[in-house]
A and B are shown apart, each in its own frame.
Chain A
Amino acid sequence: MNFNNQNTLESASVGSTKNLQLLAAATLGMVILFGVGFAPMDMAHNAAHDTRHSVAFPCH
């Protein structure tokens, strides 16, 4: 019984670490997407200009 409880607890904590790691990776993805596609600085816009047009991000 105890063993089972411990097992459940462990898998629950692994589950929440998994979700935390997925959240971190998705956040990184969104930060990169913002930098490439939406950052308002002229330098970022000029460097990624053709990419922004090709993927139809709002540009100019």
Chain B
Amino acid sequence: MSGPSIFFEDVNERQGGFLRRTFLLGGFAGIGLTALTARLAYLQTLQTSRYRSMSAENQFNLRLIPPPRGLIKDRNGVVLAGNRPSFRLLVIRDETKDLDTTLDEVAQLLPATAARRRTLLREINQSPRFVPVAVATDLTWEEFARVNLHAPQLPGVMADVNEARFYPFGGAFAHVVGYVGKVTDRDVEKVKKSGKDVDPILMHPGFRIGKQGVESALDEELRGTPGVQRVEVDATGRQVGEDRDNGEPPQPGAEVVLTLDADIQMRALEVFGEESGAAVVMDIHNGDLLCLASSPSFDPNAFVGGIGSKLYRAYSEYDHKPLLDKALTGTYPAGSTFKTMVALAALESGISPHKTRSCGGAWRFGNHVFHCDKASGHGTVDMHKAIVTSCDVYFYQTALEMGPDIIAATARKFGINQIFDIGIGNQKKGVLPDRAWKKRAFRRPEDQIWYPGETPSFGIGQGALAVNPLQLCVMTARLANGRKALNPRLIKSIGGKERPAGSAVPDLPISADHIDIIRSAMADVANDVSGTAYRAAQLGLGPIKMAGKTGTAQAHSITSGASRATLHLEWERRDHAWFIAFAPYDAPRYAITVLVEHGGWGAGAAAPRAREIMRTTLLKDPAIIRRIQATGATVEAPPPIDDSEGSGLPEAPTLVGAQGRTAAE
């Protein structure tokens, strides 16, 4: 095969050169492989610990487990805010074949999801691919079973159970307990602004924080401590396994016990029916608030999952303002209930209770005629009679004699114009007018002067005066207690730790004798035939009787003094009805304040409701029951109050009939 064309010299040279170069090529490859080995040695021996920890960081994630939220209970352990299991349907985008067809199939199982399709699509697309998004919550057992049956054929669809906040009493405690809602960007901003670290649990999908009332004020206590679980994840962050040995279980939030009594609160809401107003009941021994109700109310459960805009608009547009907490946030003129303060101020400033004034139904001061509620006049009245019959003329004159400052100072001692530290916010201070207030409140010098013509109105609790029902109840409680400047208490304990009682306060700087004079007058308001609330305030509990004071506060200015009855007017022009009371009148234990917004007048709308709430309160007290039984009296059925059909009490004012109307308030 070898041909003559090959020059042997050339062949030998080429072959020799090739052999040398082969060794070199082999050498280069060897050097390359050695370099790789050296690099491997560096990575796999010297750097191992560093890369091991990085590998573990990759492999494991700390996952937060939301803690069960602390329960909120009433004083007897009745759950006001609890957690209930909620069946949910979740969709994991990453595991679906096609999100659109998956949602179609889900809509076949749960037709309700079809309507929210667009929202759902956006929500799912905004979440990370592997995070389950709740497509439907609060499934019924039947729906849950149906979903579970079909889920295996639907990739990316699963059903689970989580805890949802639940308010078993619906609206009864809505204003006090509040509600929880989704964590918004604004909530996170607020935490950041307060300088605190944002709890990572806030970012947990489905986590809820308190938005209102106790839920909001004690959110951190109720929230608990999230548990931590070390989970194995893959590169996309999807969980592939658990590390059961490491991690901590969640610590449930602290249990909050309120001083409220669910029975009393429910009774209050019941007697209000559709009427708008507020009821506050206090234990005058320790300041515990037994009832703090605002009517009409709203369903806090609707807010937990995110309230629909339609329902929210219905709530906010209804003229009875269900979202407003009328017990704390609403302020109203105190009306004649304030006469207790004016009388006490008179006694404190040295005016004799026996000093009489003459009431002719009206009284001219300057170029203004001030009317009394009883157009024919009360004749000669002293302090006792003035309170019992609620004579306006007596108080016009008495107030003018004292001037506004001393009245305001006395009222302030009784809690008017104060914000109480009861653990929840939203309290409005209102207005307690005096000379200093005018200086503060007005800019123009001529407005800053207190004109004598303003004093008579102030004397009957009108004018600029504005109070909230809680303040009036504290005032009543302090009158009833007689000694202590009692503070209200709403939060009984947090996590088993008792909060200081409202009675750990200094004494009232008021003479006990003077308070007695007011109290005996209040007793006659409810129990003397001439009293403004004589019929409406009968408890029917034998020796246990109430002492009280009615009030009718103008919600609009009266143009003519001819008629002050406003019941015939349209709702929002009617007067506000007040009733403040304590019982038993001889050994006070409970104080109550009832406001019926635009209720017409105190004795008609407010007093019967106060009586019913007070009856419930008294009948829950074993000491009171023993006292009734000791006298051999039987507990009478209460006068009919809410037997009118349907709406409960709107007709109530007619129950007191003509007798109430003749008495001036």
A, B: real partners: no
